[in-house]
Structure 1
Amino acid sequence: MTESQPAGHRYQPVAVLMVLGSCLSLQFGAAIANGLFPVAGPWGVSAIRLVSAALILLVVTRPRVRGWTMHTWRWLALFGLSLGGMNGFFYAAVQRLPLGIAVTFEFLGPLALSAALSRRARDLVWVGLALAGVALLGLDSFRGATSLDPLGVFFALVAAAFWAIYILVGARVGSMVPGQGPLAVAMSIGALAMLPIGFSGALTLVVDAKLLGLAVLTGLLGSVIPYSLEFAALRRLPRNVFGILLSLEPGFAAGIGALVLGQSLGVGSWVAIVLVISASAGVTLSEQQRRRPAPVSEPEAHKS
């Protein structure tokens, strides 16, 4: 078993479907949240999203925290803070950047993690392809095809760092404590961390039933469903594969941004997103081939 392989699990194709479902749900949640930014701001929307998601998960999972050691709680605290930071800074980026571009920059976190965990030259080729896609986004912006807000890019890069931490710590927590209870507790910690920053904005959503309903829907689509799927996938996939599989998110985000939010991208930006998605497909196929058992010759197969 390699260092990046979760203990006790083999590579499972169903985990890939979990990541795809997570990508789709997460970007629909972000699209809905985008409509709430003018009312509550990104930090207020992020806070109410995490609070509603935490409450749903706590009711559904009813985590049994008795017996959790202080060591476990320290990892859970780091997991929760990474969740909160990733959500807050991502929404701050989405307020200033098209959804597809914000997610593409944010993906630099999982991409850097995949590069650090890779042990083969072939993996680094896929990482380089994804980097070329991100570089093309920047070139497209400088040429004027897509105007990028520098502060929005900065927020997306901060979210990228939190995303990498989320993957590493989530894999560790998932191997320490079974079930979805740890995710519910971590979501609660992330919500508490975001509340002081987004309290005033969140309050404007709470007093309006319609806006509150949309905010809760954002929590369900943007947190409960995707993070539950990702947390389950983290127990089944190597961290380097999980990290680069998430590069599919820019494609989902760009498509949903165009369909739901009417955000159009230049040709260069679409090419960049395709490059990143190709890197994801390449590293996934490469990992499947590496883990496929070597064929056994007929004489060897009959040896006792």
Structure 2
Amino acid sequence: MRAGIAPIMILIAAMLWGTVGTAKTFAPPGVDSISIGAMRLLIGGLVLLIVAGLMGKMTLKGWPVKLILLAGLSMALFQPFFFTAVSLTGVAVGTVTAIGSAPVFSGMIEWIVFKTRPAGVWWVSTLLAVVGCIILMFNTGAVTVDPMGILSALGAGVSFASFTILNSQLVRTHHPVASAAMIFSTSALMLLPFVFMYDNSWLLEPDGMLVALHIGVLATGLAYYLFAGGLKYVKSSTAVTLSLAEPLTASLLGVLLVGEILDIWSWVGLIMLLMGIALLVLQSRKKQVRAGI
């Protein structure tokens, strides 16, 4: 049953991630990217540790230390890259570029490092999704395409692709929730020194606390619980492409809630992005039906 709904779990997780950039715009002015990223990991990691503990899946023995450290570093790097991109280029373009580039990096890493050539449907769906992302990047509305913002978004894309591949290795031998808890706890420890280096007074304001709780509990704890569970049954390259539902969600929220403007070509990009995601979901469901799952 879990295998059959795995792609849907990843899609829901991606939609929750898509709310992060919009949530940041409601935080008090002047919140820096590292500070909000560190709080996201601290809260999300704590939620995942509690859930894994309640499920009886948390153990401190038998973990591959190198894999945990690399996955933790990837997620730690993703935070400042992503939030900087959103700050410089806007919710829609920042999220689209970050997550839209991840499938390319994921496929390249799998091909070069693991010698695993992505399936044909991955190439088609990723092509549709990436072209959609490129069209979105060239939106001529109110969002500014900042070169440093784009570079930060690409850094986030590499980090997310690396995290997904490393996490997919962990969930083969460890429970998905426990794996996510270990990775996020490690990431939080890596960014913990920065919490004391930056001004965190924004957390004392009602808006700041609500944003931190939303990003930490829903967009991180719950989202990565679903993502890790789905990743056990879905290839990492496919999971990353399914995760393109994140920029789709972010773009729509940017328009509806933040007031960002998307022209006709940007809507074309969104439709192509949705087509790429739908293709992967349908293909995955067909495989499950043929396998009798």
TM-score tier by shorter-chain length is 0.7 to 0.9
Shift of 1:261: 1.5
Gaps in structure 2 of 5+ consecutive residues = none
The equivalent residue for 1:130 is 129
Preserved CA contact (<8 Å) 2:105 2:157: no
Distance 1:147-1:33 versus aligned 2 partners, 3 A rule:
closer
Shift of 1:57: 2.3
Preserved CA contact (<8 Å) 2:122 2:238: no
Tell me, what secondary structure is at the counterpart of 1:96?
Answer: helix
Kindly indicate whether residue 221 of structure 2 is the aligned counterpart of residue 217 of structure 1: no
Preserved CA contact (<8 Å) 1:146 1:266: no
222-231 or 95-104, larger mean C-alpha shift: 95-104
Kindly indicate whether residue 96 of structure 2 is the aligned counterpart of residue 97 of structure 1: no
The amino acid of 1:286's aligned partner reads Q
The equivalent residue for 2:257 is 260
The amino acid of 2:76's aligned partner reads G
TM-score by length of 2: 0.85
Tell me, what secondary structure is at the counterpart of 1:176?
Answer: coil
Tell me, what secondary structure is at the counterpart of 2:88?
Answer: coil
Shift of 1:123: 3.4
Preserved CA contact (<8 Å) 1:11 1:288: no
Q: Map residues 199-278 of structure 1 onto 2, 5 A cutoff.
A: 199-201=196-198, 203-208=200-205, 211-278=208-275
Identity %: 22
Q: Give the number of the structure whose alpha-carbon radius of gyration is greater.
A: 1
5, 30, 48: which is aligned to 1:14? 5
The equivalent residue for 1:31 is 22
Q: Give distance in 1, aligned partners of 2:60 and 2:268.
A: 51
Shift of 1:148: 0.5
Deviations 1:8-65 (A, max 9, x none): xx99331122122212222223322222262321211111111122222223323643
The equivalent residue for 2:62 is 68
Deviations 1:253-293 (A, max 9, x none): 11111222222212222211221221121233234445653
Distance 1:199-1:94 versus aligned 2 partners, 3 A rule:
farther
Distance 1:202-1:213 versus aligned 2 partners, 3 A rule:
farther
Q: Map residues 137-156 of structure 1 onto 2, 5 A cutoff.
A: 137-140=136-139, 146-156=143-153
Gaps in structure 1 of 5+ consecutive residues = 1-9, 296-304
The amino acid of 2:184's aligned partner reads M
Q: Map residues 48-67 of structure 1 onto 2, 5 A cutoff.
A: 48-62=39-53, 64-67=58-61
Shift of 1:83: 1.5
Distance 1:200-1:111 versus aligned 2 partners, 3 A rule:
same
Q: Give distance in 2, aligned partners of 1:37 and 1:169.
A: 34
Shift of 1:147: 2.5
Distance 1:21-1:138 versus aligned 2 partners, 3 A rule:
closer
Q: Give distance in 1, aligned partners of 2:68 and 2:78.
A: 15
Preserved CA contact (<8 Å) 1:133 1:272: yes
Deviations 1:98-122 (A, max 9, x none): 2222222112112432464554444
The equivalent residue for 2:165 is 168
Distance 1:275-1:67 versus aligned 2 partners, 3 A rule:
same
The amino acid of 2:61's aligned partner reads G
